[in-house]
Structure 1
Amino acid sequence: MASLFAFLRVISLLKAVWTAYSAFYLFRNYLAARKIGLPIRIIPISHTNPFWMLVDRHFISFIRQLPFGHNSFTRYNYRGWELADRYFSHHELGDAFIVVTPGRNWLYIANPDTIVEVFRRRTDFPRCLELTEILNVFGPNMSTVDGLQWKKQRKMTATCFNEQNNEIVWSETLGLANDMINYWSSKALLKTVAHDTRTLSLHVLSKAGFGKSFKFEGHDERKESSPSTSYKDSLQTILENCVLIMALGTKFLENPWLPQGLRRLNEACNAFQKYMTDLYEEEKQAFAEGRTSGRNLMSSLVRASQDEAKTGVGLTENEIYGNMFVFNFAGHDTTAHTFTFALYFLAANPQAQDWIYEELCQVLGDRQPDEWNYGVEFPRLKRCLSIMLETVRLYTPVPVAKWTDTRTQSLNVGAKTVVLPPDTMVIPSYASVQTDPKYWGSETLTWSPSRWIKTSNSTTANLEDEELITPQHGTFIGWSEGSRDCPGRKFSQVEFVGTMAVLFRDWKVDPVTQSGETIETARERVLRLIKSDSAPVLLLQMLHPERAPLVWKRR
């Protein structure tokens, strides 16, 4: 009993020390924030506190049920609060305000000109590498380095994303999407599209990234196999468990005493590493012998690095592996989550399905997918692309965090110049600026892809006269902005548009009605689910899409 009391006293002492420590730094950061001269909101726990991140949403949900439950703590003190808040805080507090935490101060900005300035001043406001270092799974990469290292890596990785690779993405997407809709339409109801869109995205990356094609398998058709026997299975295992890998690290996973699930994950990491090593050596040999190899991302990256090494310093082997992992991680999860959001929005909006069907009929006619030409058809499918743009506008999967690092920086916010101390986070308020009525008109919180289309000739109703709008600079940053924008932007757009074309040329999708529901109330329920069930895990996603099963029907 005495030992129990002693243990409890130690716990109480640690809690008291932690509380005092947090209170001291919270007060210190508050004093620093007051000197900046912007509106302030104070929260007692840092956003990035790992223990808080495990319970934040559940705890906040509980507190909100109490009489005093609506305050700054429940409004701002959880990951993804920006999604629920949208532009309302900035309309209350102005173009910029500061959230004070015990860790550091967070400056949120929703002035388009200020956002553009932050992205333009890349060296003054670098990415906070503390938040991205978990991506160093297989080696340093564009997301985890800065300065001269980043310039070198960006120069060589940019050459990989070209029109030749986009043609591979297009043709592979069409075939896989066709198999996917055949699988979906064979079912009386589809519990969720999320698993299968991840598979489609994985297979597109397998072809475009490594030159390997795989037949589409629906979620219920997948068979368990050892990740060491197949490149596809090893990569799929890694991508489905990347949060665990990033949290634990590949070195920890090598421990033989770990449970079977983690040993299997280690097996997948080793198999994928070996596959990349073998392919790397093959590409180096082909380059040395002057042979032409595939047009995939891996071959392009190796060749770009070998070319650079003739006059400078190419990428190391680990840097190539690190960037290939990030290509797969970023291209897989971001696109798959965007597919899921878009398909549920479309299920709730049959008029939008009819709208893109009209475009598909005019552009594609009766021709089959193997007759569709990337260079001809993709630029004409503007409505299909607008589905992606509108979905990303409301649900940007990867917000970017900047900071002042170790230096003091001045920043223009409207007519005011503020001075930011070192270690200040600088956050472009995506969820605010991309929904603010000042820039997007009325009904900005409503999913409406037609807002992206304008007609160049008002006297005709010809779809060929339609054009995509160009938003005001700094008001749409779904693929980031400036020199560190996403190099795979068009890759993802080609994959998305190709999938939409195959799915909705001959098919339409509806939510499955529950007992006593009409189809209209079912659609309203899906929209409520998207709004209430979306939150960041590692990236922003729908947490439980299976709560709204879908059904596909031929037109």
Structure 2
Amino acid sequence: MAFSTKLFLTLLALPVLLVFTRLYNLFRNYLAARKIGLPIVISLESWQDPLWIFFGSYVRKSLSALGLWDRSEPDYTTIGWPIYDRYDSHAKYGPAFSIVTPFKTNVIVAENEAARELFKEWRVWIKNRELYAMMESFGKNVNSVNGDDWRRHRKVTAPAFKEANSKLVWNSAMEQANGLSKRWNENSKKSGGITLRELRGDANIVAMHVLAAATFNIKYDFEGGVEVSEPGHEMSYGEAMKTIVHNLSMMLVPIIFGLARLGIPSWMMPAGLKRLKVAVFEIQNYLESYVAQERKQYREGGESRDDLMSSLVRANEAEKEKLGTEKMKWALSDEELYGNLFMFNQAGHETTSSALSYAIPFLAAYPGVQEWIREEVDAIFRNGDVPYAAAMPRLVRCDALMYETIRFFSAVPMHPKYTGNISQVLSIAGHDHVIPAHTFVSINYYAIHFNPSTWGSDVNEFRPSRFIKSSLTPGTETFAIPEKADFIGWSSGPRVCPGKKFSQVEFVATIVRLLREFVLKPAQRAGESEETAGKRLVEVMSDVEHFISAMPRHPDDAGFVCIKRARWTATE
């Protein structure tokens, strides 16, 4: 009996101790934040806390069900709060404010000059190892490391993103969009439309297949291609990547990812973890095999291909050959090669599929915008296909569509920088602020993209033409960021996303292929006008939740149809 009482008291003491510890940390962080001199917001949790990243959504759902979670207020515990908030919090608190939590303090910045400084000084404002280590599932990569380590990764990976690779992306995206548009046209006739859920799934397929072609020279048909496994494998590379991407929340938690990599018997695992385990082992095997094959080709004098893997491995082998004459070892380890190849696929997949998942409903809901972009497509492709090098520089309206879509629905809501072990000084709105050691400083993408003082009074209007500098003949116009505004959809400064051009080419090629042959319209309910259906489509796609990227909360409640253009011919 005494033992049971002692056990009960111990179990009771643990949550009390946890609460006390977190309240103490909150108070300590509050005292430090006061010295920064910025407005303070108190939050009982942080989206940067590894445990909250995984369990937070369950806690929020439980509290919401009990009526204890007010969704009308900004939920600073989620990474996606800027999506709903846009510029509102900064209109209330100013160009920067501090969110104080029991985990760490996070200074939120929405001033252009301060953001430029944070992006530019990459040695000072670093990436937090606790946060970015979760993105090293298969090895360290150019997105996760700091300092000279980043310079080493950047030196080897940068040559992989060349124009020849962009051409490969263009051709692959055109092929995938061809299969995509045929499916959508058939489904529009049979079922009356494509839901936003189906759209996201299909956009994921396009992105996954384009990445497989551009990274490893693996070609999949749009319909069912990834289901075909290579000899000796339980899953194809594409199917394994799709499994990992769909379970990315589990991959971001080191404990669960570790379980997936351990030799635990499959019968002891739940179905989801069992399939993830197979996918993790298959990706590891594919990466090891592809890198070994390309290294052998290089050493035997075989010709290089245009895909990312071939370029990356060969650049790394060339660096290895220089090690005897250089003071610093620039070459990457095999694990770092695997880490970069996986990161390029994971990050590239999410960015482009997300952009397409919102741009296409926007086109359906705003027929004037769709016709404006189609004017450019028709002007360039009126006499048939045009090669990548000749077409891409002229497709500025398609670029504008992507930029405006990402302005509304960025794949990354905020970019978290970190002070590290020492305090740093940051100038905000002309005043220097000392940011304490071990403090996050996050650049608020949405607030910067929705600041009415830099973007204008129509900041909440979806208007891609804001990115066109001159209104001349379609196909001869100039693309430009609006004066006074900053666009940071792919980050900025020296550490700008290396796959920026890759994602732009894939997006533009897909849009071109769709609009050359088809018209997109909102799916209408019985008795509903096209205009009303368009408004409903925008409402549904704007009610989003965020984990890995923004996704509609009710993706089955709206959609679009894909209709063959009247009198369209291949040489129109």
Query: Quick one: distance in 2 between partners of 1:476 and 1:552?
Result: 31
CA contact (8 A) 1:356 1:383 kept: yes
Closer, same or farther in 2 for the Cα pair 1:12/1:388, shift >3 Å?
same
**Cα distance in 1 between the residues matched to 2:58 and 2:317:** 47
1:204-243 aligned at under 5 Å gives the runs 204-217=210-223, 228-243=234-249
Structure 1 counterpart SS, 2:301: coil
Residue of structure 2 equivalent to 1:360: 377
SS of the residue corresponding to residue 123 of structure 1 reads coil
Give the aligned partner of residue 536 of structure 1.
546
Report if aligned partners of 1:250, 1:266 keep a CA contact under 8 Å in 2: no
Q: Does 1:376 align with 2:390?
A: yes
Distance 1:71 1:180 in 2: 38
TM-score by length of structure 1 reads 0.92
**Which among 435, 458, 473 is matched to residue 462 of structure 1?**
473
The residue aligned with 2:207 is 201
Give me the whole-angstrom Cα distance separating, in 1, the residues matched to 2:304 and 2:177.
Answer: 27
- Secondary structure at the residue paired with 2:432? strand
Question: Aligned with 2:415: secondary structure?
Answer: coil
Corresponding residue for residue 76 of structure 2: 76
Q: Quickly say closer, same or farther: Cα 1:466–1:8, change in 2 above 3 A.
A: farther
Distance in 1 (CA, whole Å) between partners of 2:503 and 2:223 is 21
After TM superposition, list the pairs within 5 Å mapping 1:115-514 onto structure 2.
115-187=115-187, 188=190, 189-191=193-195, 192-217=198-223, 228-247=234-253, 248-254=256-262, 255-256=264-265, 257-312=268-323, 313=329, 314-367=331-384, 371-398=385-412, 399-455=414-470, 461-471=472-482, 475-514=486-525
Per-residue deviation at 1:135? Answer: 1.6
CA displacement at 1:465 relative to structure 2: 4.4
> Counterpart of 2:557?
547
In the alignment, which residue of structure 2 is the partner of 1:55? 58
Pair 1:549–1:144, CA change in 2 (3 A): same
Offset of residue 9 of structure 1? 5.0
Question: What is the RMSD computed on CA atoms of the aligned residues?
Answer: 2.5
Going from structure 1 to structure 2, the CA distance change for 1:39 and 1:177 (only over 3 Å counts) comes to same
8 Å CA contact retained: 1:298, 1:324: yes
**SS of match in other structure, 1:462:** coil
Tell whether the 8 Å contact from 2:520 to 2:561 is kept in structure 1 after alignment: yes
- CA gap of 1:362–1:252, structure 2 versus 1, over 3 A, is closer
Partner of 1:105: 105
Instruction: Summarize the Cα distance change of 1:77–1:203 in structure 2 as closer, same or farther, 3 Å threshold.
Output: closer
In 1, the alpha carbon distance for the partners of 2:542 and 2:525 equals 19
Deviation at 1:169, TM superposition (A): 0.4
Q: Aligned in 2, Cα 1:361/1:3: closer, same or farther, shift over 3 Å?
A: farther
CA distance in structure 2 between the aligned counterparts of 1:55 and 1:411, rounded to whole angstroms: 36
- Counterparts of 1:445 and 1:22 in 2: how far apart (Å)? 39
> Which amino acid in the other structure matches residue 496 of structure 2?
D
Matching residue's letter, 1:288: R
After TM superposition, give the deviation of residue 81 of structure 1 in Å. 1.3
Decide whether aligned partners of structure 1 residues 349 and 61 sit closer, same or farther in structure 2, where only a CA change above 3 A counts: farther
Which SS does the other structure have where 2:114 is aligned? helix
Distance 1:294 1:71, change over 3 A: closer
What is the distance in 2 between the residues matched to 1:264 and 1:104? 35
Greater displacement, 24-33 / 244-253: 244-253
2:24 paired residue number: 24
Shift of 1:168: 0.4
2:570 matched residue in structure 1: none
Structure 1, unaligned runs of 5 or more: none
Confirm or deny: 8 A CA contact 1:60 1:78 kept in the other structure: no
Q: Structure 1 CA distance, aligned partners of 2:77 and 2:279?
A: 36
C-alpha distance in structure 1 between counterparts of 2:312 and 2:401, whole Å: 31
3-state secondary structure, aligned to 2:47: coil
Counterpart of 1:46 in structure 2 is 46
Letter in structure 1 aligned against 2:294:
E
Q: CA deviation at 1:515?
A: 3.8
Aligned mates of 1:339, 1:136 — CA distance in 2: 26
Question: Percentage identity across aligned positions?
Answer: 34
Paired letter, 1:355: W
- SS of match in other structure, 2:283: helix
SS at match of 2:28: helix
Mapped partners of 1:60, 1:259: distance in 2: 27
Q: Secondary structure at the match of 2:124?
A: coil
Q: Secondary structure at the match of 2:219?
A: coil
Q: For 2:406, give the aligned amino acid.
A: V
Paired residue secondary structure (1:467):
coil
* Residues 418 and 440 in structure 2, CA contact (< 8 A), matched pair in contact too: yes
Q: Distance in 2 between matches of 1:171 and 1:239?
A: 24
Shift of 1:214: 1.1
Tell whether the 8 Å contact from 2:138 to 2:342 is kept in structure 1 after alignment.
yes
CA-to-aligned-CA distance 1:314-337 (integer Å, 9 cap, x gap)? 111111111000010001111111
Q: CA deviation at 1:152?
A: 0.5
**Amino acid across the alignment from 2:214:** A
Query: 1:88 corresponds to which residue?
Result: 88
SS at match of 1:388: helix
Is the Cα contact below 8 Å between 2:537 and 2:559 reproduced in 1? no
Asked if structure 2 preserves the Cα contact closer than 8 Å seen for 1:341 and 1:542, the reply is no
> Partners in 1 of 2:533 and 2:107 — Cα distance?
40
> 2:568 corresponds to which residue?
none
Aligned residues: 542
Distance 1:123 1:552 in 2: 48
Deviation of 1:156 after TM superposition, in Å, equals: 0.8
1:260 deviates by 3.9
User: What is the TM-score with the length of structure 2 in the denominator?
Assistant: 0.89
Alignment match, 2:326:
none
The superposition leaves residues 341-393 of structure 1 with CA deviations (integer Å, 9 ceiling, x where unpaired) of 111222211111111111111111041xxx32101111111111111100111
Residue 35 of structure 1 and its aligned partner are, at CA, apart by: 1.0
Q: CA 1:78 to 1:208, structure 2 compared with 1: closer, same or farther past 3 Å?
A: closer
8 Å CA contact 1:397, 1:541 repeated in 2:
no
Gaps of 5+ in 2: 324-328, 566-572
The 3-state SS of whatever aligns with 1:427 is strand
Offset from partner CA, 1:504-553 (integer Å, 9 cap, x none): 11212222222443222221111111221x22212333344333132111
* Distance verdict in 2 for CA 1:47–1:268, change over 3 Å: closer
Q: Find the aligned partners of 1:10 and 1:352 in 2 and give their Cα distance.
A: 64
